[in-house]
Amino acid sequence: MKELFEGKAGMLGGLSNEEQLVKLCPAQFKQENKWSKYASELFFSGGNKKNWQWKTSDKEEQKKQFACFRGLLSTWGIKHEHKEAVAGWMLSEMLTDVPVS
């Protein structure tokens, strides 16, 4: 879905299209699943993206996707459960699988 990584990260956090993404987010990400759980772990504990297996090998696209992901995680504009759902959705489109910690 092209809208997923079309937003612009704000200087102080947030993503320009975060409310639209909440509305578009597929139902399976609004329930606990491996992607939303991993997004939550990253939010609360941080993480290391060195072991991420990206779907794209394009470094510029990886930067763009990560900027959107980071912007979303830093938002105060949407409820936390929506943030985890959309962040899980993003991760599922960014990575081949959930990394093993």
Name the residue ranges covered by the structural domains of the chain.
Answer: 17-44+55-94
Alpha-carbon distance values, 10 to 19, 24, 48, 53, 97 (Å): 14, 20, 23, 26, 28
68: pLDDT strictly greater than 90: yes
Pairwise CA distance, residues 51 & 74, whole Å = 22
Size of the chain, expressed as the number of residues it contains: 101
Pairwise CA distance, residues 19 & 13, whole Å = 14
Annotate the chain with DSSP letters as a single string.
-GGGG---B-TTS-BTTHHHHHHH--GGGSS--HHHHHHHHHHHH---GGG--BS---HHHHHHHHHHHHHHHT-SSS-HHHHHHHHHHHHHHHBSSPPP-
Mind listing the pLDDT tens digit for each residue in 34-45?
A: 999 999 999 888
Mind listing the pLDDT tens digit for each residue in 4-36?
A: 999 999 988 899 999 999 999 999 999 989 999
